[in-house]
Amino acid sequence: MAKMKAAMAAVLIMEKEGITQAFGVPGAAINPLYAQLKERGTIAHILARHVEGASHMAEGYTRARPGNIGVCLGTSGPAGTDMITGLYSAQGDSIPILCITGQAPVARLHKEDFQAVDIATIAKPVTKWAVTVLEAAQIPGVFQQAFHLMRSGRPGPVLIDLPFDVQQTEIEFDIDTYEPLPIHRPQATRKQVEKALDMLAQAERPLIVAGGGIINADADKLLVEFAEITGIPVIPTLMGWGSIPDDHPLMAGMCGLQTSHRYGNATMLASDFVIGIGNRWANRHTGSTQVYCAGRKFIHIDIEPTQIGRVFAPDYGIVSDAGAALALLVEVARERKAAGQLPCRKAWAAECLERKTSTDYLRKTNFDAVPMKPQRVYQCMNNAFGRDTTYVTTIGLSQIAAAQFLHVYHPRHWINCGQAGPLGWTVPAALGVCAADPERQVVALSGDYDFQFMIEELAAGAQFKLPYIHVVVNNSYLGLIRQAQRGFSMDYCVQLGFDNVNPDENLPQGYGVDHVKVVEGLGCKAIRVQRQEEMAPAIEQARAWMQEYRVPVVIEVILERVTNIAMGTEIDNVTEFEDLASSSADAPTALAAKMAEAMLD
């Protein structure tokens, strides 16, 4: 046993639990913890420009690699309330992050001290656990429990609030004998898996809906193996995108009202059975359950017991970690295939693949208009960025169109805030991804309003040498809200444009903010693009600047002011505002079609 400050015990436990990186903003009430971080020098720290930014950096850091847990730090009062959005975002998408806040001394908690707020109560609805530690001797147990909870069951965030005097109090603690608590993850039984496969055997046109739980469980290879053994096509959710490569013949497209493919919706509507694994039946994936569920049966496998039956009652539910369930599904399916007991799904898989490779189900991208249409921007991005690109984005028409037109080939290469969708998330999340994996090719994507929300975090990217490419599609509008306002016959309070009194000849009048000047003022590099033929050179320039300066590089693309992106009210009622694919430039690549044909054989 050794005598030490309670804050030092917290730092030592974080080290033992594998923490090597933190994001935050120091302040008076959290300075005791920062003092111990400085003394140890083992946990790197990135100084955010906004405390909410620190929480989103922690999210990006967690999402980038299996096993990561992002840590965000802030002082008392507004620092904690600023991080609530990050906690909500992490909770909605099952992302474990640890938020640590400072607090007024225990004796002052009820005296309305400066920046004293009951952050644990505020954070409770958006965390797995939120606690103010009132006794210094409880800090080791609280931190041990925090890591246990974040990793067990459905992953999620925890907030620990540390009063100033609690951090400073000396306690007896032996880090050498400290061990993390065992992680609890429910596992499917063989009987359950056999019943699921028996039910699947009765289906003629089954699908697998692959959710974010598969990514969290690092089970993408098991998913692909199960799909290939059974011959069942896969519909990934937005959070599960990348769990099967986009060009795999059994990847049948995404389904939904917005972030979906026409062939994905058509395939879902043609199916008669769905097995959902690690998903939560989000409403933008399903639309109404009356349409989504009509004519098909469902099995639902999820790590969280209360998710089973939450949106609709499945025909069979299994509470299990996605990886554990898939391992057993693969094992039993392999046995049945060897015994000749699996149905042949080649005709159904070929039907799904035919939809995917037909121009009848592809949206047009090959526009030559100036200002550019967003569809052409994504075509240019597909041409310029390779299979190992990691995309980071949050919400808006830019994100919806990205999911319709971009391609993802690996897990954790589509890093998207799914449920909460806070504007401003993209810049700090991308920085968190870069901190987790400095050599990864990261491409962030924002509309102009998302970009403006937390643009100041680019300075952290410049200071800490976190290079990535940020594509900003600028129509000087709240595009998604403008499109939604069509239902109210209005276009109200959504225009961002104005005539900038500091004119730049390369910025069209009426587009307002000169993002290039702002970005350069924050210590990064930027380039503006007006035409599609400028995209490839701009991306090459961005890569060169990243290599030379090791800072974020922004490519601002000037879009036409109004473009409506395909979306609808039901999966059988999606409005296509633009023409469908009309040229060879819109067609699937010959390589993808050839690979698909070879793999089906």
Q: Which residues are catalytic?
A: 25, 51, 423, 478, 481
Q: Could you tell me how many residues make up the chain?
A: 601
Q: Are 440 and 434 in contact (CB under 8 A)?
A: yes
Distance between CA atoms of residues 223 and 244, nearest Å: 7
In 3D space, the residue among 214, 208, 186, 207 whose CA is nearest the CA of residue 278 turns out to be: 214
Cβ atoms within 10 A of the Cβ of 475, count? 25
Q: Are 43 and 13 in contact (CB under 8 A)?
A: no
Helices (H), 243-287: 262-270, 283-286
Phi, psi of 104 (to 5 degrees): -60, 160
Distance between CA atoms of residues 381 and 400, nearest Å: 15
User: Which residue(s) pair with 102 in the sheet?
Assistant: 162
Distance between CA atoms of residues 139 and 133, nearest Å: 7
In 3D space, the residue among 294, 265, 299, 259 whose CA is nearest the CA of residue 279 turns out to be: 299
Place of tokens 């380039």: 527
In 3D space, the residue among 71, 78, 186, 85 whose CA is nearest the CA of residue 127 turns out to be: 85
User: What is the DSSP code string of 170-237?
Assistant: EEEE-GGG--PPPPP-----HHHHHHHHHHHHT-SSEEEEE-HHHHHTT-HHHHHHHHHHHT--EEE-
Q: Can you read off the two tokens belonging to residue 351?
A: 């039907």
In 3D space, the residue among 91, 391, 356 whose CA is nearest the CA of residue 235 turns out to be: 356
Helices (H), 385-477: 397-405, 426-436, 448-453, 458-463
Are β-strands 21-24 and 44-47 bridged in parallel, bridged antiparallel, or unpaired? Answer: parallel
